[in-house]
């Protein structure tokens, strides 16, 4: 059974704080790891796709790392802003290209 776990479930931070979330996934049969940003009433927006162990990706104040051997990825947000408030989804693609999503981390950034 493919299981993707994200923690924490929700997070409240102050504007300017830096924060990070964790995504755990099966370490076998790994193809790719995705991070999405999802605002309510919109469709998920792709942030990163990572395929290689040790990959690090960065987009503005957001960055992500990948450890396929131990089955985890971290997403970091530096200097959180209120507009960063959203649900951050992690998704794992296994062999056969089936992609399973975690439950997400809901981030609230207070001004």
In the complex, the residues that contact another protein under the rule CB under 8 A are 31-32, 34, 42-44, 46, 49, 51, 89, 91, 93, 96-104
Q: Report the nearest approach of another protein to the CB of residue 8 (Å).
A: 14
Beta partners for residue 51, in sequence order: none
Query: Comparing C-alpha atoms, which of 16, 17, 76 is closest to residue 47?
Result: 76
The answer for residues whose C-beta is within 8 angstroms of residue 26's C-beta and 6 or more apart is 2, 3, 71, 92, 94
The tally of CA atoms less than 13 A away on the side-chain side of residue 60 is: 7
Q: Which is nearer to another protein, 4 or 109 (CB)?
A: 4
Tell me the C-alpha distance between 33 and 48, whole Å. 8
Q: Report the nearest approach of another protein to the CB of residue 89 (Å).
A: 7
Q: Which is nearer to another protein, 80 or 93 (CB)?
A: 93
Q: Report the nearest approach of another protein to the CB of residue 64 (Å).
A: 14
Q: Which is nearer to another protein, 72 or 101 (CB)?
A: 101
Q: Report the nearest approach of another protein to the CB of residue 100 (Å).
A: 6
């Amino acid at each position: 059974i493919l299981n993707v776990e994200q923690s924490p479930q929700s997070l409240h931070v102050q504007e300017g704080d830096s924060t990070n979330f964790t995504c755990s996934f099966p370490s076998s049969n790994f193809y790719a790891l995705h991070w999405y940003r999802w605002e309510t009433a919109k469709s998920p927006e792709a942030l990163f796709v990572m395929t290689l162990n040790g990959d690090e990706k960065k987009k503005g104040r957001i960055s992500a790392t990948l450890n396929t051997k131990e089955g985890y990825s971290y997403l970091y947000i530096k200097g959180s802003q209120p507009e960063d408030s959203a649900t951050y989804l992690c998704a794992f693609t296994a062999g056969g290209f089936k992609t399973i999503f975690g439950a997400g981390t809901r981030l609230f950034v207070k001004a």
